[in-house]
Amino acid sequence: MFSSDEFALLIEDLSLLPAISPTTRRLFEKMDDPEISLSAISSFIEEDPGLASRLLKVANSPFYPYSGTVGSVREALIRLGLSSSRGIILTTSLFDRIRGEPGVLDLWAHSLAVSMTSRKIGVAIRCPFVEEVALAGLLHDIGKIPYYMYAPEQMRKASRDLDIQTPDCRWEKELFGLDHMEVGARLVSTWRFPSIIRQPIRWHEDPAMAPAMERTAVLIVSLADQVVQGFGMGHMGNLVGQEGLFRLVEELQMTEDELIGLMKDFLFDREMIRQRSGSVL
Ligand SMILES: [Fe+2]
Ligand SMILES: [Fe+2]
């Protein structure tokens, strides 16, 4: 349907962010400016009530493990961190545009679930970049969004007709020339997210290929994706089976008890994620 060159051009277009509002685009330029103060960013966000309320909703949602309520944009930015705030604004803006398409709210719930689970794994193994893996989890399937934007008919067919899906995402390559990991990695690198966010997006379905530098982050997001999918909140993904799951756990040096704890936690949160995910979009 698309050749990889044609689809790559569309992705380049999307990376210029025409899909999101001019305010969001200007906000990202400001966030890229190393000289700008937090107060200046907060004031800019406050000028757009939609943007401000979206950030506050997420900061106060059960998807972020903080106690107490934040009442101002400034507090929300401090609580979430600038990089996560940027990721949340970007993802919610993109998802919001395609929310009417079948399967999209499931993909959103899946992304939130993978983000929460990635954070829990990060905490369990005491990794020093917990917020980064939580953000990578939120963004890990962002490469699927352009499919819904540019080829909604094909995606409707794909979600109805499981036959065209192959476990290794070959169907995405056949339809679009690029699979969702390649698309996602291209997007986040032009949006200037760092390698620790980009690599889990690029390799989460194929962690054996992950570069050594960001390997732990890739393994965390992969494991989170597997746990979430294994308990019924997947989105056209690939299950690696018990052996693959244990390989991830072993490489992360987690114990079996930690894995069981993680699974129990997810089962406990699953209904809440299903019910509440739509309200923060
Ligand atoms: Fe994926
Ligand atoms: Fe996924």
Calculate how far, in angstroms, residue 221's C-alpha sits from the geometric centre of ligand 1.
10
Calculate how far, in angstroms, residue 140's C-alpha sits from the geometric centre of ligand 1.
6
Q: Which of the residue ranges 27-31, 65-69, 82-86, 106-110 would you say has the lowest mean pLDDT?
A: 65-69
Calculate how far, in angstroms, residue 80's C-alpha sits from the geometric centre of ligand 2.
22
- Identify the nearest ligand to the CA of 111 by its number: 2
Calculate how far, in angstroms, residue 72's C-alpha sits from the geometric centre of ligand 1.
34
pLDDT given for residue 133 in this prediction: 97
Calculate how far, in angstroms, residue 181's C-alpha sits from the geometric centre of ligand 1.
7
Long-range contact list for 271-277, CB < 8 A, 24+ apart?
A: 272/62, 273/63, 273/109, 273/112, 273/113, 273/116, 273/233, 274/109, 274/233, 276/61, 276/62, 276/63, 277/63, 277/105, 277/108, 277/109, 277/112
Q: Which of the residue ranges 19-28, 108-117, 132-141, 220-229 would you say has the lowest mean pLDDT?
A: 19-28
Average pLDDT, the chain: 90
- Average pLDDT for 266-280: 94
Which tokens go with 158? 């794909």
pLDDT given for residue 275 in this prediction: 94
pLDDT given for residue 191 in this prediction: 81
- Identify the nearest ligand to the CA of 108 by its number: 2
pLDDT given for residue 93 in this prediction: 86
Which range among 58-67, 146-155, 261-270 has the greatest average pLDDT? 261-270
Calculate how far, in angstroms, residue 204's C-alpha sits from the geometric centre of ligand 1.
6
> Nearest-CA neighbor of 167 among 139, 202, 206, 141?
206
Q: How confident is the model at residue 162 (pLDDT cuts 50, 70, 90)?
A: low
Q: Which of the residue ranges 157-166, 192-201, 235-244 would you say has the lowest mean pLDDT?
A: 157-166
Q: How confident is the model at residue 148 (pLDDT cuts 50, 70, 90)?
A: very high
38-47 confidence digits (pLDDT tens): 999 999 999 9
pLDDT given for residue 201 in this prediction: 98
Is the pLDDT at 67 greater than 90? The verdict is no
Calculate how far, in angstroms, residue 49's C-alpha sits from the geometric centre of ligand 1.
32
Rounded distance, CA 117 to CA 204, Å?
Answer: 14
Calculate how far, in angstroms, residue 124's C-alpha sits from the geometric centre of ligand 1.
23
Q: pLDDT exceeding 90 applies to what percent of the chain?
A: 63
**Predicted TM-score (pTM) of this structure:** 0.93
- Identify the nearest ligand to the CA of 229 by its number: 2
* DSSP letter, residue 213: G
Calculate how far, in angstroms, residue 52's C-alpha sits from the geometric centre of ligand 1.
29
Return the CATH class of domain 4-18+101-280. mainly alpha
- Identify the nearest ligand to the CA of 106 by its number: 2
pLDDT given for residue 18 in this prediction: 58
- Identify the nearest ligand to the CA of 169 by its number: 1
- Average pLDDT for 99-116: 94
192-234 confidence digits (pLDDT tens): 889 999 999 999 999 999 999 999 999 999 999 999 999 999 8
pLDDT given for residue 167 in this prediction: 67
Calculate how far, in angstroms, residue 148's C-alpha sits from the geometric centre of ligand 2.
15
